[in-house]
């Protein structure tokens, strides 16, 4: 089966067209005629002499698989090791998997197998892994983390580092957190979502990837949102991801 490459505007148009066909009201963009011409030229949009429109059958099946998905797995890898950054979403329904990959301002859609999901979930390898371990769990309230991030983004590294020390964050962990902001440390994130009626839920697994893995977990401290950081090995992270895949797709 073929891959389909659509711009953001083309994807938005096709989703709205299929939604409208189900009797729901939608509002199209002002440059609809230009979008339709591009889609028709690609063979993605079929029009008869009376002006009736329909999506190419395979593309319609892909898009309907996204619209009617019961589970969704979003995979984000940003600046991880020497690999390229990627944003990929798997939509699961009784029809199978639909894989959507962001490519700049475009979206590539294709049917996929579970083996492809396993490949995309692969944890990035560490670059020059450190042999020193960071012990314990270290928690920072989100309000404080935002202040640290804001300071680092405008070049106030010393101020940001001082705030990390005030929160008892070890130097090695602080350097990794600063590295995410300046781009020298990567982020690996997987979001599992279920939309089945009466079974809605979500689970997020996040890790910083530099010279070690740091699992990042949203939590609560003193009734305030916070993020807890803890060093863990690759086996632990992959174990968490695999367990979530089985829980969300096989129960």
For residue range 227-240, what is the model confidence (pLDDT) as tens digits? 999 999 999 999 99
Is the pLDDT higher at 17 or at 222?
A: 17
Q: Residue 230: its pLDDT value, please?
A: 93
pLDDT (tens digit per residue) in 70-123: 999 999 998 765 556 899 999 998 889 999 999 999 999 999 999 999 999 998
Average pLDDT over residues 201-215: 90
Closest of 195, 212, 216, 194 to residue 203, by C-alpha:
194
Predicted pLDDT of residue 83? 56
Please check the confidence at residue 242 and state whether its pLDDT lies above 70.
Answer: yes
- What's the confidence (pLDDT) of residue 210? 85
Q: What is the mean pLDDT of residues 189-200?
A: 84
Q: Which tens digits make up the pLDDT trace of 11-56?
A: 999 999 999 888 888 888 889 999 999 999 999 999 888 878 899 9
The candidate with the shortest Cα–Cα distance to 77, out of 113, 121, 115, 130, is 121
Distance separating alpha carbons of residues 4 and 134, to the nearest angstrom: 45
Mean pLDDT within 193-221: 86
What pLDDT does residue 22 have? 82
Q: Give the pLDDT of residue 79.
A: 75
Average pLDDT, the chain: 89
Per-residue confidence (pLDDT) for residue 24, from 0 to 100: 84
pLDDT score recorded for residue 102: 96
Above 70 in pLDDT, residue 1? no
- Span 49-67, mean pLDDT? 91
Percent of the chain with pLDDT over 70: 96
Q: Report pLDDT for 20.
A: 87
Tell me what pLDDT residue 58 has: 95
């Amino acid at each position: 089966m073929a891959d389909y490459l659509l711009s953001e505007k083309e994807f938005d148009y096709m989703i709205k067209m299929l939604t409208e066909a189900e009797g729901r009201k939608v509002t199209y963009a002002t440059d609809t005629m230009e979008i339709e011409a591009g889609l028709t030229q690609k063979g993605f949009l079929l029009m008869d002499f009376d002006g009736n429109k329909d999506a190419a059958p395979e593309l319609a099946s892909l898009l309907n698989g996204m619209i009617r998905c019961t589970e969704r797995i979003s995979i984000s890898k940003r600046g991880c090791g020497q690999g390229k950054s990627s944003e990929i979403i798997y939509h699961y329904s009784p029809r199978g998997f639909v894989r959507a990959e962001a490519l700049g301002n475009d979206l590539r859609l294709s049917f996929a197998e579970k083996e492809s999901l396993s490949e995309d979930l692969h944890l990035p390898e560490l670059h020059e892994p450190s042999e020193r371990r960071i012990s314990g769990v270290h928690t920072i309230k989100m309000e404080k983390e935002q202040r640290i991030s804001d300071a680092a983004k405008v070049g106030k590294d010393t101020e940001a580092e001082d705030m990390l020390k005030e929160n008892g964050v070890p130097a090695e962990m602080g350097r990794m957190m600063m590295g995410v902001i300046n781009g020298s440390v990567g982020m690996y994130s997987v979001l599992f979502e279920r939309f089945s009626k009466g079974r809605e839920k979500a689970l997020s697994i996040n890790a910083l990837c530099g010279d070690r893995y740091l699992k990042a977990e949203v939590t609560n401290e003193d009734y305030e949102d916070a993020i807890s950081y803890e060093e863990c090995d690759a086996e632990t992270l992959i174990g968490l991801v695999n367990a979530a895949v089985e829980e969300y797709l096989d129960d």
